[in-house]
Each structure stands twice: as C-alpha cells, then as structure tokens.
Amino acid sequence: MRKTVLIWECNETFGTEFLELFVHDANIYVDSTVIRIDGNRPYKVNDSLVLGQDWTVKQLDLEIQNLKKSLHLLSDGKGRWFNEKGEEIYPLRGAADLDLSCTPFTNSLPINRLPWQRNDARDLEMVFLSVPDLAWKKVKQRYQLLEEAAGRRKFHYKSGNFETNIEVDADGFVLRYPGIFTRVF
C-alpha cells in the first residue's frame, strides 16, 4: 500500500483541503476533508472516492454534516452513473469523470486516466457536482497538455466560458490552479 497526503489552500475564499490517497492492489481510495466559507456560510465536506487502478471513478460518498446534506454515487467506469438505490441517472450517461467544485483533486482523474503527448487536446464529458448545494449536471471540459518539464506538466483547461492553465506534478496532482487553488503540501 502506498499513501499520499495532499493539502490545498482555496484562493477564492477562506478554505483548505486535507486529502489522503491510498493505492492498493485493486483500487485507489481517496479520503478528503474540505473546510470553506462561502459568503457567510461555513461548511465542512467529508468525501470518499473509490477509483479503479486506471483512475476511473467507482464510488463517491460525500457528506456536509453541518448543512445536513449527503450524496452517494456509483459509476461503472464506462459512463453510467447510479444513485444510492442503484437506479441509473440517465442525464449523466456518457460522462466518464467527476468534477467536484470544492477540490482541485478531481482534475487528476482525466489527467491520470488518459495518456498524454504535448499539444494533445481532449474533449471530455464530466459529472460536475457543485458544492455545497450538491447539484449535479453533465458538462463538457477540455484538457490540453501544453508543456512537460522537470517533473511538472501544464494543462490548458476549459469548461464553458472559463479557461485557465493548471500546473500539476509528476503524479498528476494540482500544484497551481490560478486564482482558485494552491497546493501547500
């Protein structure tokens, strides 16, 4: 078993995230706690992800205890998503990856799932989950590998009208997401 600890600071508002990633033979397990203040509303998010060794999402459990909200999603890793009752969520069909608004970690999912060459651009369908309201929708996002040097890679990221360059380390974990997240550990 291999363990990685990552900590990010939120640059948009007060916030931080403590994340532990455990690599086992069959799966990757991710446990994270996010503490944020949006407006005058503080909240703490506890989420757990189960990923395949290929970085596909198998399961998400998320709880915002102080707001009395929770969500459980399952995925077959091939673009089908299911609720806690095992019912397929048809509007999400075709989305391979998950994007949680409260963490830069989910950018690592397509970055680590797909092979990349310089100037490669990939248009992806993602399940975007807005936190803390837990509203989900399928969105299109684009990643393009711009450069790779000294154990770092830079990707151009675009979702809707928003675009930026994201810098990741050799393991595909975000170092800088300009104006939004900075890794501190």
Domain ranges of the chain: 2-183
Percent helix, strand, coil in the chain, to 5, is 10, 60, 30
CA dist 183 and 185 (Å) reads 6
User: What is the band of 51 on the pLDDT scale with cuts at 50, 70, 90?
Assistant: very high
| CA neighbor of 164 nearest in space, from 150, 138, 182 | 182
CB 129 within 8 A of CB 106: no
The whole-number pLDDT of residue 62 equals 98
The whole-number pLDDT of residue 94 equals 97
CA torsion 35-42-140-151 (nearest 10°) is -20
What pTM did the predictor assign? 0.96
Task: Give percent above pLDDT 70 in the chain.
Answer: 100
Tens of pLDDT along 62-74? 999 999 999 999 9
Average pLDDT for residues 92-113, to the nearest whole number?
97
CB atoms within 10 A of CB 177: 21
The whole-number pLDDT of residue 23 equals 97
pLDDT at 39 over 90: no
